Amino acid sequence: MELPFLTIKQASTLIKQKELSPLELTKSILERIQEKDEKLNTYITVLSEKALESAKKAEEEISSGNYLGPLHGIPLGLKDIFVTKDITTTCGSKMLENFIPPYDATVTQKLLDSGAVILGKNNMDEFAMGSSTETSYFGPTANPWDLERVPGGSSGGSASATAASLCLGSVGTDTGGSIRQPAALCGVVGMKPTYGRVSRFGMIAFASSLDQAGPLTNTVEDTAIILNAISGADPKDSTCLDIPVPDYTQSLKSDLKGLKIGIPKEYFVDGMDKDVENASKKAISEMENLGAEILEISLPHTQYAVLTYYIIAPSEASSNLARYDGVKYGFRAEGAQTLRDMYFKTRAQGFGDEVKRRIMLGTYALSSGYYDAYYLKAQKVRTLIKNDFDEAFKNVDAIVAPTTPEVAFKIGEKTQDPIKMYLSDVLTIPCNIAGLPGISIPCGYSSNGLPIGIQVLGKPFDEETVIHVAHAYENNTNWAKKRPEV
């Protein structure tokens, strides 16, 4: 097998046994990036020299008997939302086009501490606002299964790079489905951990009560390996909980005997792509064959999830993005005569249309006289959605549903219709609103050969059951073995 097509587990086994050189592995993937990324645009910044230095250092450490674990010497991508010391961090925006942070995000630091080689910063929707990686200031990313289609978003660069073997895995973020939706559309595994499981320190904020970092990889086992490395308490993030982190690789079981899996009837929405519906139902039957007890459940407030999300997320974004004003860092517009003028011009020129749209939505929802009608009401509905899940989990161990209502759509197809675009996340948003762990895994292909994903949702901090269900299904099917021909 060619080196870029190895899984993290395969590569780390060979590296540990000193049968594979991290330097050789890194070189082979950098060559592939150079050859393929022009048409995919999965990276904003490629760190060729730094990556080769890290790989050389990893090789020397391993040779001298100082092996750090399964990510030592493994080349990974990193969504350009995580700050990286002395390395440009843009968040896909003109506003931060030349921003070089003076420190590392906790996720960045944990990957470095585990000996991983950071290949570069993956493309993304601007400030993580989008479902297609078309809002990036650095141009859209293409889906490796069909270059005329989107990879999903906002972690589209991470998903596309992973699927196209331009990294062995990546770490993205999920605010309303931004890991799971692109994972489904690109035919890879993507996991959003429980809110508070992974530190948000140094992860550029979009919606602080919803954002969570997680892995995108080619197998569930690889996801477990990265999750082990990035999880855990962080004194720099007060929302990151100090509870023990299990070894997720211990949850990789091959059957589902004794597990009860709930299928929410509300997730098979009207207008769902027939191929997606059929593949999802087949996957659920396969889980039943593996020993799971399948129960139909109801999550009655699902219909309000998108509406709730598009009040809470823009409100938090409007507050978080107030800091980008041209004063301390980032883009500053030229030719301003007054301070007020500088603010106006900087924000008008520095933000793209989608970011401006969400700032305006959020500012309106938080404004005097409207706060109770919108933001406060949305928070109350959020509680109802969370209560639906709490009620369901009294009877089931995990919930399984389609990840997206359709396969990857064409680039430009939804850019003129924001509502249509927002509905791309209709099945992933409830998980974020309730703060639950969720994973998307490949479960088939459409009639025109595009990937389809199914998601497994679990109880808070029960990533183990989510990984167990996902791995057992993956282990007994062949979907994860297929890669696109770029």
Q: Is residue 154 among the annotated active site residues?
A: yes
Q: Which of 21, 54, 93, 154 is catalytic?
A: 154
E-strand stretches of 299-450? 398-402, 438-445
Of 467, 401, 41, 35, whose CA–CA distance to 228 is shortest? Answer: 467
**Active-site residue, selected from the candidate residues 9, 54, 79, 110:** 79
**Fold designation for 3-260+396-481:** Amidase signature (AS) enzymes (3.90.1300)
Q: How far is residue 258 from each of residues 122, 255, 396, 462, 465, measured CA to CA in Å?
A: 40, 9, 11, 16, 12
pLDDT tens digit sequence for 50-100: 999 999 999 999 999 999 999 999 999 999 999 999 999 999 999 999 999
pLDDT tens profile 8-32: 999 999 999 999 999 999 999 999 9
Q: 261-296: per-residue pLDDT in tens?
A: 999 999 998 889 999 999 999 999 999 999 999 999
- Give the number of other Cβ atoms within 10 Å of residue 419's Cβ: 9
- Average pLDDT (301-325) is 96
Based on the residue annotation, tell me whether 54 is a catalytic residue of this protein. no
Amino acid at 463: E
Region of poorest pLDDT, from 111-125, 207-221, 367-381, 446-460: 367-381
How far, in Å, CA of 470 to CA of 405, rounded?
19
**Residue 419 pLDDT class (50, 70, 90 cuts):** confident
Is 79 part of the annotated catalytic residue set? Answer: yes
The domains of the chain are located at 3-260+396-481
Q: What is the mean pLDDT of residues 371-386?
A: 95
Mean pLDDT of the chain: 97
- Residue 115 φ/ψ region, left for φ over 0, alpha for ψ in the -120 to 50 degree band, beta for the rest: left
**For residue 368, what pLDDT is reported?**
85
Say what the pLDDT of residue 416 is: 86
The one catalytic residue in 54, 160, 178, 280 is 178
Q: What pTM does this model have?
A: 0.97
